[in-house]
Amino acid sequence: DGGITQSPKYLFRKEGQNVTLSCEQNLNHDAMYWYRQDPGQGLRLIYYSQIVNDFQKGDIAEGYSVSREKKESFPLTVTSAQKNPTAFYLCASSIQSTSGPYNEQFFGPGTRLTVL
């Protein structure tokens, strides 16, 4: 079955540590996205990538980094520079069409990150 996997489901981090959240998709989608969700709020875009070896900052990229070395994978690193990293993180992917990215995004199950 095609889909998006995120690991781990729960992650605990000590202050000052970097952590990496995994996101893998086997949908053959070109575009991938990372979102942050805080309680009572909608999703905020951290980074997105439309093609391998290329990515762009979203609204809240500070304190985060990404890589896109393979089409299937888009890991997110939460660095120690992120002041308030405790949140729910969602990874998504979508088809890129020649008419524009007007396609729905498919989501992974999410990773809950807690800073101790």
* Residue ranges that bind other proteins, judged by CB under 8 A: 31, 40-45, 48, 50, 56, 58-59, 88, 90, 92, 100-102, 104-107, 109-110
Q: Which residue number, 80 or 103, has a Cβ lying nearer to other proteins?
A: 103
Instruction: List 113's β-bridge partners, or say none.
Output: 11, 87
**Side chain identity at residue 65, one-letter code:** S
Rank residues 18 and 97 by Cβ distance to other proteins and give the closer one: 97
Q: CA separation (Å) from 44 to 9, 52, 113?
A: 19, 22, 15
What is the C-alpha separation between 21 and 40, in angstroms, rounded? Answer: 22
In the complex, the smallest distance separating the C-beta of residue 101 from other proteins, rounded to whole angstroms, is 5
Shortest distance in whole angstroms from residue 80 CB to other proteins:
26
